[in-house]
Amino acid sequence: MMKKLNTIVMLLLVVFTTTNGLAQELPKPSPAATVEQRIGLTDFKVVYSRPSVKDRMIWGELVPFDKVWRTGANANTLITFSDDIKIGGKAIKAGTYSIFTIPVQGGDWTVMFNSVTDGWGDSKYDKANDVLTLTTTPIKGMYQESLRFSFEKLKGASGSLVFAWDVVTIDLPVEVDVDKKAWANIDKAIAEVTDETKANVYRNAASHAASTGKRLEEGLKWIDASIKAKESWYSYWVKADVQHAAGDNAGAIASAKKAIEIGEAGAKESGKPFKYKAQLEKAMTEFK
Q: Which of the four pLDDT bands, split at 50, 70 and 90, describes residue 271?
A: confident
CA 215/CA 190 separation, integer angstroms: 14
Phi, psi of 206 (to 5 degrees): -65, -40
Band of residue 269 on the pLDDT scale cut at 50, 70, 90 = confident
DSSP 167-215: EEEEEEEEEE-HHHHHHHHHHHHHHT--TTTHHHHHHHHHHHHHHHT-S
Quick check: helix, strand or coil at residue 235? Answer: helix
Kindly report the backbone phi and psi dihedral angles of residue 140, in degrees, each rounded to the nearest multiple of 5, phi listed first. -80, 110
Of 218, 196, 197, nearest in space to 205 by CA: 218
Instruction: Quick: pLDDT tens for 62-113.
Output: 999 999 999 999 999 999 999 999 999 999 999 999 999 999 999 999 999 9
Which regions of the chain does DSSP assign to beta strands (E)?
32-39, 42-49, 78-81, 85-87, 90-92, 95-102, 109-114, 130-136, 139-152, 158-176
pLDDT digits (tens, 9 = 90+) for 23-73: 567 777 889 999 999 999 999 999 999 999 999 999 999 999 999 999 999
Q: Is pTM, for the whole model, over 0.85?
A: no
Residue 59, Cβ density class (10 Å: 0-12 exposed, 13-18 middle, ≥19 buried): middle
Distance of alpha carbon 144 from alpha carbon 148, whole angstroms: 8
Kindly report, residue by residue over 226-237, the tens digit of the pLDDT: 999 999 999 999
Torsion of CA 68, 123, 173, 51, to 10 degrees: -90
What domains are defined for the chain? Answer: 27-175 (no CATH), 178-286 (1.25.40.10)
CB-CB contact of 163 with 50 (8 Å): no
Q: What is the CA radius of gyration of the chain?
A: 29
Closest CA to 207 of 259, 261, 258, 244: 244
Burial of 71 per CB tally in 10 Å (0-12, 13-18, 19+): buried
Q: In what order do the strands lie in the sheet with 78-81?
A: 32-39, 42-49, 78-81, 95-102, 109-114, 130-136
- Which candidate, 105, 167, 112, places its Cα nearest to that of 135? 112
